[in-house]
Amino acid sequence: MYPEIDRVAEHREVVRMDEGKKPEESRIQMPGVLSLQASLAPSETQTQCLQIPPDYDFLLHRITCQSDGPVLLTFEITPGAKSPGSTAQTDRAFTDALQTEYPSHLAALAGESPAEWTRKNAILGQRAAAGDDEAFFDLIARDPRVVGSTLTVAKVVSWRTELEGYAKYLKLKGSKLFPLTGLEEARVRMEAAKKNLRRLGETHIAFHDQRGKNPLPPPGVVKGLYYAFLCLIAGLKHEFQMRVSRDNENKARRDLLALVAALKNLQTQSDSFFIYIAWAVGLLDQIRIGEVPGLSRTTLLTLVGPQSSKPSELALDLTGQVFEISRNTVETLKESDDVIIWTGPPGKVYGVGGRPNFDLAAFPEFQHVMRSLTP
């Protein structure tokens, strides 16, 4: 089966280009998605173009790739020309995207399929129309487009009417000669209306409230470092075993530590995944290996010795230490479809999709170090 590639871009900004626009002014923004599918044979290369309308400022937030094997990706970003289109055309594009793209984003945000998300919203809408304010606020939190509906206008007008009708009597006190009936009920209804009007704005903030939650690091970065550690440890373990069988363990330890030291000072090419491996090498002195901090003659055997754990287990542990997350969380994030990305020269972003299966010995950078260390 050939790979299917999806590229996901969040925080799409739909904005008419305006040279006189002040930075502090609010711009119209909306999450969006660009995607494509490509069938690639082994070692085949293709160039695909995703055209972004010139009236869009597009911030690339996340890239995912569903693939049967590892895929090397290069993203070249070129500036577009200004569109001669009218503001009306831009507004129409935004309105169309609200109906065609935004619901899928909201469903994913809620962790539901589009069909399930739509079904639940319909139920909440029926309850809200029947007067259930809690259902109304739940609906707005799930789908902010409801703010522009007749239902929302009706709710706001109703609550404002409560305020207009009772606000003037809030501090009025009755007397024995001029008793006021229903005053306490009026105050309760007015306070409820005020609370609902305040809550209408706060609903959107509460939906994204991160208090009490533990935000996770970017999945693509975690995935990249995990596979870098996996490649590095597997390669060093193979090299150590070869040297032990050829020389002796003491010499193999010295040689391998010298190899790691040489890799630390290596200049990496910007278009190579080796940039992640170099990062992993640099971290070996800053994290625990077993129960001891840093790589040394003693801890080396914990990584590559005959009694050492599998490279995959060690990679889980080391990656978890770097990001201060559990091994299970690393396991989950590394199985995501997120692309492992890194930046190159201006206008270029590189990535690896699928599950990397790199061999340390195949990298030119590693080969260069091996030649420099060979007597």
**pLDDT, tens only, 26-58:** 667 777 777 778 888 888 888 888 777 666 667
Residues 143-178: pLDDT tens digits?
Answer: 989 988 999 999 888 888 877 777 666 555 555 555
- Write the single-letter amino acid at 287: I
Distances in Å between the alpha carbon of 288 and those of 227, 257, 319? 18, 16, 11
Other residues' Cβ atoms within 10 Å of the Cβ of residue 340: 27
Q: What is the mean pLDDT of residues 83-110?
A: 76
What dihedral angle (degrees, nearest 10) is formed by the CA atoms of 358, 362, 365, 371? 150
pLDDT at 318: 96
Other residues' Cβ atoms within 10 Å of the Cβ of residue 189: 16
**pLDDT greater than 80 at residue 201:** no
pLDDT at 160: 86
Partners of residue 117 on adjacent β-strands: none
pTM of the full structure: 0.73
**pLDDT greater than 90 at residue 321:** yes
For tokens 């008793």, the residue is 179
**Residue 197 C-beta-side C-alpha neighbours within 13 Å:** 15
Residue pair 65/5 in contact by the 8 Å Cβ criterion = yes
pLDDT at 85: 53
Residue pair 76/102 in contact by the 8 Å Cβ criterion = no
Q: How far apart are CA 274 and CA 287, in angstroms?
A: 20
pLDDT at 268: 79
Q: What mean pLDDT, rounded, does the chain reach?
A: 81
The most confident of 84-88, 100-104, 184-188, 220-224, by mean pLDDT: 220-224
pLDDT at 115: 94
Q: What is the mean pLDDT of residues 296-325?
A: 93
Strands (E), the chain: 12-14, 29-30, 56-58, 71-76, 288-289, 292-293, 340-343, 348-353
pLDDT at 227: 96
Strand order in the sheet with 56-58: 29-30, 12-14, 56-58
Question: Is the C-alpha dihedral spanning 143, 127, 211, 194 positive or negative?
Answer: positive
pLDDT at 6: 37
**pLDDT greater than 60 at residue 8:** no
pLDDT at 15: 38
Q: What is the mean pLDDT of residues 197-222?
A: 75
Q: How far apart are CA 341 and CA 273, in angstroms?
A: 9
Residue pair 58/93 in contact by the 8 Å Cβ criterion = no
pLDDT grade for 16, boundaries at 50, 70 and 90: very low
**pLDDT greater than 70 at residue 130:** yes
pLDDT grade for 206, boundaries at 50, 70 and 90: low
Q: How far apart are CA 141 and CA 200, in angstroms?
A: 9
Best CA proximity match to 234, nearest among 360, 364, 337? 360
